[in-house]
Amino acid sequence: MSLVVDVEARLGHFTVAAAFEAAAGETVALLGPNGAGKSTLVATLAGIHRPSSGRVDLDGRTLDDVVTGRHVPPERREVGVVFQDRLLFPHLSAMENVAFPLRALGVARREARSRAADLLARLGLAQRADARPADLSGGEAQRVALARALIREPRLLLLDEPLAALDVRARTHVRALVRRELIGFAGVRLLVTHDPVEAMNLADRMVLVEDGRVTQIGTPGEVRAAPRTPYAAELVGMNLFTGRLERLEAGAGRLVTSEGDVVVAWPPGIDGALESVIGLLRPADVSLHVRPPEGASARNVLAGTVTSVSVEGERARVRIDASPPLVAEVTLGSVERLGIREGTRLWASFKAVEVRVQAI
Amino acid sequence: MAAPKRTTPGVFVVLAVLGIAFVTLPLAGLIQRTPWSRAADVLTSDSSLTALRLSIVVATSAAVVSLVLGFPLAWVLSRSSFPGRRVVRGLVILPLVMPPVVGGVALLAVFGRRGFLGAPLNNVFGVQLTFTTPAAVLAAAFVSFPLAVLALEAGLRSLDTRLEDAAATLGGSRWYVLRRVTLPMLAPQIAAGLVLCWARALGEFGATITFAGNLQGRTQTLPLAVFERLQTDPDGAIALSLLLVAVSLAVIVGLRGRFLAAR
């Protein structure tokens, strides 16, 4: 029981290609920045958009196969979609919206309505069953959309940015509810989001999509420990350098990136130069100085200008336009003591051993 | 952004008043000349009631025919692209701008006894369309059809097709989605199209008299009855005219807030 995707879909001049699998009872997050091609993938999996090549299999049934020309239309795919802007039917009440899939299957009106009412009650909407979508709050509308997608017990549940349209308070509530319903849903669960917090919170595995390509697949823990692209590193709050590794001296190497060089500890078990490596650096390991540091043990000292300071609790993330660009995490006290603000000229330093190097 | 207040030129005020008079004076004249003592007799006379009944039947049938035929065409025009689509749209609205009497002549050329469809109809099936009530319906539908297509096409264009996509993912077949989502959401445009077609069909004169003739009880609708009475009984014609004005006013009240709403 699983979803097996290996497709390419074209929308205008934009092409998105994705290959991944998702098992029943597992929540997989499709995570990527806006414009990465996630919505095109959603439309393709839902059957609204035909792939340009490849195939989609769900529970052993082929939904799309470009080679044989097979395409199962949306109404026969058994894929339940919660659309980003919900797309509730404005002329139907909340209950009629939820009963719609059952009525389409030919379930008698009374039974469809009573099952819709039960599901709405489970989602805490018993009082709002007769309301029109226009009269529902964002959180309520989201729950109605979820109920409508769930009621027919589809094989695949596809949630497209389920929390994006909600304000912060509704989001917390709906997130808990979505988590509960996801856990209770037996089929394949696919969550499409641009929000790493949402993905890390709700997903068992993450599929990172950038520029129409899958760049990394792994559990949230794996991605957090070893992001493979600058975007992934940014998601998990790490500095990431990609480039060529050259021998510098005993125990040390130089990581040459397109934006500047970094001195790193030589990775064990590797002899010669490597064409393609990534180096990861935790922002907390970067020290900031208002003057060039002297006599420090840090092998990397980079001058640069502060481009942004964002405060998270007692800490601040300072973005520095150095070569290569860096993010440093320091205490609020340091920010005040050093007088750091946008445009401040300063020096960042970190030890070679603090950069974790791996071949790719 | 609020529009800045502008002063209206005095000459425009005068011309605007003239414009209002242009529309209301004839109506006032009609009311002033109405023979109120005889009005009830004229309106309840057999010929008037027959014409009124026929008018309602013809206008309603024509509006329904226009809408039923207009919907698939509006769908094709709004949702598919094919070479010559603009030409097709131009042809469709032709009856709207064409003189109705020319429409009647054209219908006669096709469905008349010697027309290229009328002749086989007559020879093979023994059906003669001209001078029958269906001919009056056909003439009225011919002139009101473009209004149905335009109203429905505008409605279909403003519809969010993603709602239909969503309905499909929820298991709705094409027909089910059409019945439960598309048509209900088009209800305002369907109602507007129905009223516009009905009003246009009610007033049809030229195409009807040319193609269907002026036979009491079969093809003589109210406008034709007014025209006929004008030759012999001008006062009676005025009373009948007033009836048509009343019906037209009712249409405007019915449409209130749809097309007449101020922006």
Residue B3 in domain = no
A198 close to A163: Cβ distance less than 8 angstroms: yes
| pLDDT digit string, tens, across residues A149-191 | 999 999 999 999 988 888 877 887 888 888 888 989 999 999 9
Looking at residue B2, its pLDDT comes to 56
Q: At what angle do helices A38-46 and B161-169 cross, to 10 degrees?
A: 50
Whether B176 has its CB under 8 Å from any CB of chain A: the answer is yes
Say yes or no to pLDDT of A343 above 50: yes
Please tell me which residue, A117 or A273, carries the higher pLDDT value: A117
Q: What is the pLDDT of residue B4?
A: 63
Bridge partners of A298? none
The tally of domains found in chain B comes to 1
Q: What is the pLDDT of residue B65?
A: 97
- In sequence order, what are the beta bridge partners of A304? A346
Q: What is the pLDDT of residues B127-175, one digit of tens each?
A: 888 899 999 999 999 999 999 999 999 999 999 999 999 999 999 999 9
CB burial of residue A234 (10 Å; 0-12, 13-18, 19+): middle
The confidence band for A198, taking pLDDT boundaries of 50, 70 and 90, is confident
At B92, the amino acid letter reads V
Q: Which residues pair with A277 in a beta bridge?
A: A243, A359
Q: Is B10 inside a domain boundary?
A: no
pLDDT value at position B261? 46
Closest residue on chain B to A149 (Cα): B170
Q: How far is B233 from chain A (nearest CA, A)?
A: 52
Contacts of A76 in chain B (CB under 8 A): 171
CA distances from A254 to A79, A259, A264, B206 (A): 50, 13, 6, 92
Instruction: Write down the pLDDT at residue A302.
Output: 94
Q: Is residue B218 part of a domain?
A: no
Whole-angstrom Cα distance, residue A100 to residue A106? 10
Mean pLDDT for the stretch of residues A35-56:
93
Per residue in A287-329, pLDDT (tens digit) is: 999 999 887 778 899 999 999 998 878 889 999 999 999 999 9
- Spell out a b/e string for B181-208, using b for 16 or more CB atoms within 10 Å of the CB, else e: bbeebbeebbebbbbbbbbbbbbbbbbb
Residue B158: burial class (beta carbons within 10 Å; 0-12, 13-18, 19+) = exposed
CATH of the domain at B81: 1.10.3720.10
User: Across chain A, how many H-helices and E-strands are there?
Assistant: 9, 21
**Count of all residues that appear for chain B in the document:** 263
- CA-CA distance, A17 to A11, in Å (whole number)? 11
Decide the pairing of beta strands A274-281 and A260-265: unpaired
Determine whether the interchain pair B180/A100 forms a contact, defined as Cβ–Cβ distance below 8 Å: yes
Model pLDDT for residues A82-112, shown as the tens digit of each residue: 998 899 999 999 999 999 999 999 999 999 9
**Range with the largest mean pLDDT of A109-118, A189-198, A241-250, A351-360:** A109-118
Band (pLDDT 50/70/90 cuts) for residue A234 is: confident
Q: What's the CA gap between A74 and B147, in Å, rounded?
A: 34
Identify whether the C-beta of residue A309 lies closer than 8 Å to the C-beta of residue A327. Answer: no
Residues A135-149, mean pLDDT to the nearest whole number: 94
Query: Could you tell me the strand order of the sheet in which A188-193 lies?
Result: A79-82, A156-160, A188-193, A27-31, A205-210, A213-218
What separation in angstroms does the CA of A226 have from each of A241, A244, A300, B19, B240? 12, 18, 22, 78, 88
Task: Please give the single-letter amino acid code of residue A63.
Answer: L
A335 pLDDT above the threshold of 50: yes
- Residue B6 within any structural domain of the chain: no
Which amino acid, residue A91? H
DSSP state of B113: T
Per the CB < 8 A criterion, the answer to whether A253 and A247 are in contact is yes
In a domain, B8, yes or no: no
Contact between A212 and A12 (Cβ < 8 Å): no
Where in the sequence is the domain holding B135, given as residue range(s)?
Answer: 54-213
Write down the pLDDT at residue B36: 87
Q: Write phi, then psi, for A155 (nearest 5 degrees).
A: -80, -30
CB–CB contact A100 B184 (8 Å) = no
The mean pLDDT value for A20-37 works out to 92
Domains and CATH numbers, chain A: 2-231 (3.40.50.300), 240-359 (2.40.50.100)
Residue A145: closest C-alpha in chain B? B166
Check whether A255 has a pLDDT greater than 90. Answer: yes
The closest of B108, B161, B133 to B56, measured between CA atoms, is: B133
Closest to A74 (Cβ–Cβ): which among B163, B168, B176?
B168
Predicted local confidence at residue B259, as pLDDT: 53
Domain assignment present for B252 = no
Asked whether the beta carbons of residue B166 and residue A81 sit closer than 8 angstroms, the reply is yes
Instruction: Write out chain B residues lying below 8 Å of A148, CB-based.
Output: 170
Nearest to B170 among A43, A91, A101 (CB): A101
Q: Which residue has the tokens 């264009």?
A: B157
Residue A223 has pLDDT above 70, yes or no: yes
The sheet carrying A326-331 orders its strands as: A287-289, A345-350, A300-312, A315-321, A326-331
Residue B103's H or E segment, with its range, is: helix B100-111
Is residue B7 one of the residues assigned to a domain? no
Report residue A224's pLDDT band, with 50, 70 and 90 as the boundaries. confident
Q: Are the C-beta atoms of B217 and B199 separated by less than 8 Å? A: no
Residue B205 domain flag:
yes
pLDDT over threshold 70, residue A81: yes
- B184 close contact with A: CB closer than 8 A: yes
**Measured between alpha carbons, how far is B190 from A139 in angstroms, rounded to an integer?**
33
Quote the pLDDT of residue A355. 92
Q: pLDDT per position in chain B (263 positions), as tens?
A: 555 677 888 899 999 999 999 999 999 999 998 888 888 888 888 888 999 999 999 999 999 999 999 999 999 999 988 999 999 999 999 999 999 999 999 999 999 988 889 888 888 888 888 899 999 999 999 999 999 999 999 999 999 999 999 999 999 999 999 999 999 999 989 998 999 999 999 999 999 999 999 999 999 999 999 999 999 999 889 999 998 998 888 887 877 655 544 43
Give yes or no for B41 touching A (CB within 8 A).
no
Other CB atoms within 10 A of residue A161 CB = 21
* Rounded Cα distance, B153 and B139, in Å: 22
Compute the distance between CA of residue A14 and CA of residue B144 in angstroms, rounded to an integer: 44
Greatest extent of chain B over all pairs of C-alpha atoms, in Å: 70
What is the pLDDT, as a whole number, of residue A242? 87
Task: Report d(CA A57, CA B114) in Å as an integer.
Answer: 62
User: Is A89 within 8 Å of B165 when comparing Cβ atoms?
Assistant: no
Q: What is chain A's mean pLDDT, rounded?
A: 91
- Phi, psi (degrees; rounded to nearest 5) at B210: -75, -45
pLDDT at B3: 59
